[in-house]
Structure 1
Amino acid sequence: MGTEARDDEEIEAEHRASRLAAAQEYAPDARLEEELRLRLTGPDADGGALRFQWGDALLQPVEHMVSVAAGTPVQLELTGISTGSTVVHARPVAVAADAPESNALDAPATSAASTGLGTLTTLLDALESEHDVREWARLFDAVEAVSRALSRYELDLGVTWYDADGYVRRARLTERGRSYVRRLRETRARDQEIIISGRITELRESGFVKVKTGTAKNAPAYDVRFEDPEELVRMRPGLGDNVHFRVRFRQQLDSMGIARSTEHTYLGPAAEQTSLPLEP
């Protein structure tokens, strides 16, 4: 029949599925314990050890990334480290309601972690393939934080998720995916002219004026920058003055249309807006 080239993770996934099938012959509701494996590969990762600086830079950001993908906080705990480069073993922290005397085959069929890892592995696959990832825009900041940490230490990340039903999800984030993340973060400027009306609540010698547009506590307030601070001095504004400014509203948009920064720059005075006449 010949031999089949399979890695250890594939073999273990098959063993888990067989173990679950056998257990369900006696207990139809039996489930496996969930496990997350993070495989770090790189020039310094061959010894099967996790450096403290890697842990500081990666573990909490990975947990945050899973939580954002799940749409709810997910806590993970480290259960071991093994070789094969550096392999980090982790699992979701058991919720109090699930804690009493539940063995490995009694874990819930689905979990927030499983939902998050399903979404996350799909996104990582899309990044590695350089596909459109705009539908996962809400995840991008969290993924970028992990990507930056990996680049800092010249590491690639392999993610393997073993869920409670015996299924396995895999994905990687290599230099190709990280390079795509950096390109997606490149920004372009989009300008438009707007009018800001309100009262001055703050003045700064550096050439900034804060204008609050209403009297309510939560009314929008804008920092308006004067390119020439002397122009602001010549205007002799005072706190509480009502002003009407023409400003350039500039957004720095990334490739997914997310505004990475905004700026309001003074262009000149705007005519006061008068009330529209009422028809008889």
Structure 2
Amino acid sequence: MRLPASWNHLRERARQGLDDLGVDDERPVDDWDDVLDRAWLEGARRFDASAQLQPRLDVRVIGDDVGHGSLSMQLVDELSGPLQSEVEAASPSGDKELLRLELAGISRGSAVMHLRPAALIDSGDEHLPLALSPVDAAIRNVFDVHDAMEREAPADSIILEGDLRKSFHKLAKVLQQHELAVEMTWRPLGGQRRRSRLSERGLSYASSLFEMTDHAEETTVSGYLYEQSLSGWFRLKSNPQNKRSESRLVHTEGDRLDLESLRLNQYLRARVLHTYQMDRFGQRSSERWTFLRFLDKEEQ
């Protein structure tokens, strides 16, 4: 037996009932969720000992323009896309179908998006008939990144690469654009819940880590002349017989080099000015190699 889809509606009615009775309880919404969930589970297990609460991810969206228990469709779309992408990128399995999240409802407490895994897999244990959600490990990895930003951990200690980097960066931009913060609570199947927060502090720190700074250094490149253009560039390739081998596009400026004097497949060594932008994660962009001079055979 699983938590029915109408449970979110019943939970919201319970909160409204407290307001109608004039009950001024300052406990967090999560506390009331726990009380109501435990009450449902205790009652359900009187009829079915295997009854379990379905795992869910509660995402509380906090901001001045957030409605009381409501979110615009545009904002739901802007938030749910990067969140889904983060979970997919952070999963060891990478099976997108098993990692898909569904929006089960939105309730009060600023505005809380209730997301649940679309798929559960059988554990093979008769005592855990609903078993495991493959989303669990992915969400914990996502929370690790959010928590690291919030406590301002050193950049080299944060595991943020590839698609996870892109998804997190997109989520952070959305939150900053709308001046929002998020508090997330993951309630796994039969496990201990975990919370994570991404506030203005964490977002500001993340922004500083993604900020690009200019770099320039003189270095040596070498390889066989693979392509050249009279418009001002040539390409060196480590192995011209292999199209996938490493290559380097070198730009020339003015009359610094007479490209007509070069021969295809000629081995060349050159000093170049390597310019690029780099963030504090060591990710580079806008790389460019500009020709300075060729090196003689004797030069290192």
Q: Structure 2 residue aligned with 1:54, among 57, 62, 75? A: 75
Superposition pairs for residues 31-42 of structure 1, below 5 Å?
31-42=52-63
Alpha-carbon distance in structure 2 between the residues aligned to 1:131 and 1:67: 23
Corresponding residue pairs, total: 261
Q: Greater shift after overlay, 169-178 or 76-85?
A: 76-85
Equivalent residue of 2:270, what SS?
strand
Cα shift readout 1:183-224 (whole Å, capped 9, x = no counterpart):
11234426351222112325372x333322212121112221
Question: How many angstroms does 1:246 deviate by?
Answer: 2.1
Question: How many angstroms does 1:181 deviate by?
Answer: 0.5
Question: How many angstroms does 1:125 deviate by?
Answer: 2.0
Question: How many angstroms does 1:27 deviate by?
Answer: 7.2
One-letter code aligned to 1:129:
R
Contact 1:31 1:106 in 2 (8 A): no
Task: Provide the residue aligned with 1:236 in structure 2.
Answer: 260
Task: Provide the residue aligned with 2:13 in structure 1.
Answer: none
Relative to structure 1, the CA distance from residue 239 to residue 9 in structure 2 (aligned partners, 3 Å threshold; closer, same or farther) is farther
Relative to structure 1, the CA distance from residue 247 to residue 173 in structure 2 (aligned partners, 3 Å threshold; closer, same or farther) is same
Relative to structure 1, the CA distance from residue 225 to residue 162 in structure 2 (aligned partners, 3 Å threshold; closer, same or farther) is same
* 2:33 is the alignment partner of 1:8: no
Relative to structure 1, the CA distance from residue 198 to residue 159 in structure 2 (aligned partners, 3 Å threshold; closer, same or farther) is same
Question: How many angstroms does 1:177 deviate by?
Answer: 0.9
Task: Provide the residue aligned with 1:216 in structure 2.
Answer: 242
Equivalent residue of 2:142, what SS?
helix
Instruction: Say what the alpha-carbon RMSD is for the aligned residues.
Output: 3.2
One-letter code aligned to 2:158:
E
Question: How many angstroms does 1:238 deviate by?
Answer: 6.3
One-letter code aligned to 2:31:
E
Cα shift readout 1:117-157 (whole Å, capped 9, x = no counterpart):
11222321221121225232324332111001111122212
Question: How many angstroms does 1:35 deviate by?
Answer: 0.8
Alpha-carbon distance in structure 2 between the residues aligned to 1:47 and 1:115: 31
Relative to structure 1, the CA distance from residue 8 to residue 262 in structure 2 (aligned partners, 3 Å threshold; closer, same or farther) is same
Question: How many angstroms does 1:9 deviate by?
Answer: 1.0
Question: How many angstroms does 1:19 deviate by?
Answer: 5.4
- TM-score computed with the length of structure 1 as normaliser: 0.78
Cα shift readout 1:42-69 (whole Å, capped 9, x = no counterpart):
1221243332332332211111111222
Question: How many angstroms does 1:90 deviate by?
Answer: 1.4
Relative to structure 1, the CA distance from residue 190 to residue 93 in structure 2 (aligned partners, 3 Å threshold; closer, same or farther) is farther
Task: Provide the residue aligned with 1:145 in structure 2.
Answer: 170
Task: Provide the residue aligned with 1:203 in structure 2.
Answer: 229
Relative to structure 1, the CA distance from residue 248 to residue 108 in structure 2 (aligned partners, 3 Å threshold; closer, same or farther) is farther
Q: Structure 1 residue aligned with 2:100, among 69, 75, 78? A: 75
Q: Greater shift after overlay, 65-74 or 246-255?
A: 246-255
Q: Structure 2 residue aligned with 1:194, among 201, 220, 223? A: 220
One-letter code aligned to 1:132:
P
One-letter code aligned to 1:164:
L
Relative to structure 1, the CA distance from residue 9 to residue 266 in structure 2 (aligned partners, 3 Å threshold; closer, same or farther) is same
Q: Which runs of 5+ in 2 are unaligned?
A: 1-23, 123-127
- TM-score computed with the length of structure 2 as normaliser: 0.73
Alpha-carbon distance in structure 2 between the residues aligned to 1:24 and 1:270: 80
Relative to structure 1, the CA distance from residue 269 to residue 49 in structure 2 (aligned partners, 3 Å threshold; closer, same or farther) is same
Contact 1:37 1:161 in 2 (8 A): yes
Alpha-carbon distance in structure 2 between the residues aligned to 1:14 and 1:198: 71
Contact 2:216 2:275 in 1 (8 A): yes
Q: Greater shift after overlay, 185-194 or 156-165?
A: 185-194
Q: Which runs of 5+ in 1 are unaligned?
A: 99-104, 275-280
Alpha-carbon distance in structure 2 between the residues aligned to 1:24 and 1:37: 24
Equivalent residue of 1:240, what SS?
coil
Task: Provide the residue aligned with 1:116 in structure 2.
Answer: 138
Alpha-carbon distance in structure 1 between the residues aligned to 2:247 and 2:186: 45
State the identity %.
Answer: 26
Alpha-carbon distance in structure 1 between the residues aligned to 2:296 and 2:249: 20
